[in-house]
A = this chain, B = another copy of it.
Amino acid sequence: MTEFNIKDTEYLNKLQDYYADWKNIPSYARLCEVFGIASKSWVKAVLVRLSEADFIERTPDGAWIPTRQFFARPHAESTVQAGMPVAISATQGDFFIIDEMLIETPSKTTLITVKGDSMIDAGIHEGDVAVVEKRMTANIGDIVIAIVDDEFTLKTLDRENGAFILRPANPAYPVIRPQGTLEIFGVLTGLVRKYRK
């Protein structure tokens, strides 16, 4: 039996890219095209090695399916110095699945696109997607989606003279001191930004 090698890594990358497009692992015949291999038997040998490396597995029906590791992205930690440049370790650290990191309770999580710039000093820009966990309680200092006078707003929760206030992270905007009830819609648990390609 042969081992998982560099070429198999290329095959894995091609399979991951195909899967990103089509969300399934196709027949051996189609994988011949995807991998650039002419024989089905060799495609199977590749898949067996990928499964031994725990990137794919089989259903009871014999269909190939991806494992968790298949979706994980390499994550280089403690590597990029945004202050002063620092050497990167070529070794790939642990793996990382974005959805899993950001969303712990899918049924309570909503994504909301941010409008305006009142939280810009907190690094939250217009167009960013806020990951919000719906719940009615929050702690002082949390960034919350609050319902003030039947309207929603994204602000930092704070307290002043025993009353809750909503503090923007932009000096151009005023602190909100709710007159009526202050209801919490949810708490900001994550943020996602996409840069133009």
Contact = CB atoms under 8 A, between A and B. Distances in A.
Contacts of A189: 194-195, 197
Count copies of this chain in the complex.
2
Contacts of A163: none
B115 A80 contact: yes
A151 B85 contact: yes
Which among A19, A97, A105, A192 has the highest number of chain B CB atoms within 10 Å? A192
Interface residues on A, range: 35 or more
A79 B112 contact: yes
Interface of A is mostly: mixed
Nearest to A92: B110
Query: Which of A66, A100, A152 neighbours the largest number of chain B CB atoms within 10 Å of its CB?
Result: A152
Contacts of A150: 87
A105 B20 contact: yes
